[in-house]
Amino acid sequence: MVEAMPNVFVFNSLMTQFMHPWRKTVEQGKLRIILDNFKRRVGALDEYIIVWKKESTHPYLVREPNGIVVGEVLYDVPNDVIHLLDEYELSPKRNYRVEETIRLEDGSTVEAFVYVWRGEDIHEKDEEFKTLLPDDLIPESLKQDIVPE
């Protein structure tokens, strides 16, 4: 029996170039080329938020009971690519990898690895986000959860 390969949830610079214009630093490297080969779907991760720490150059995922983050799910990622992602995310030193349930735009769910910030002081932040996607790229079925009325 062949074991299924894991999925991975991404929310920032590892999203598709079309969806995330800030991805220029990753475009130059091999990780972008490798990740662009995987099927992707937009999804929502509940009970987390994106935090941009004062001392950081990029955002982190942290647990928040009423939070939601919209990003992409990469499907069937082999272990060698998971190890590359671990290195990129500085796991387990800066972030830890955990499996969570992701809600897709059609209402179905899928399990995926998520990289969560290991640090403390999560409430000392400059900005908090629910997504880094532009409003017009958020699926209608997820907008009600993240766009303020």
Band (pLDDT 50/70/90 cuts) for residue 146 is: low
User: Could you tell me the pLDDT band of residue 2, with boundaries at 50, 70 and 90?
Assistant: low
pLDDT in tens, 26-76: 545 667 777 888 999 999 999 988 887 666 667 788 888 888 888 999 999
Q: Where along the chain do its domains lie?
A: 8-144
Summarize pLDDT for 6-33 with one digit per residue, the tens.
Answer: 999 998 777 776 555 555 555 456 677 7
Which one-letter DSSP state was computed for residue 136? G
Tell me the pLDDT band of 149, cut-offs 50, 70 and 90: very low
Distances (CA, A) of 98 to 60, 65, 106: 14, 16, 24
- The model's pLDDT over 94-140, given as tens digits with 9 standing for 90+, comes to 888 999 999 998 899 999 999 998 876 554 444 445 555 555 556 66
pTM of the entire structure? 0.75
CATH topology for the 8-144 domain: Hypothetical upf0131 protein ytfp (3.10.490)
- DSSP summary character for residue 20: -
Q: Which of 140, 137, 30 is nearest to 85 (CA)?
A: 30
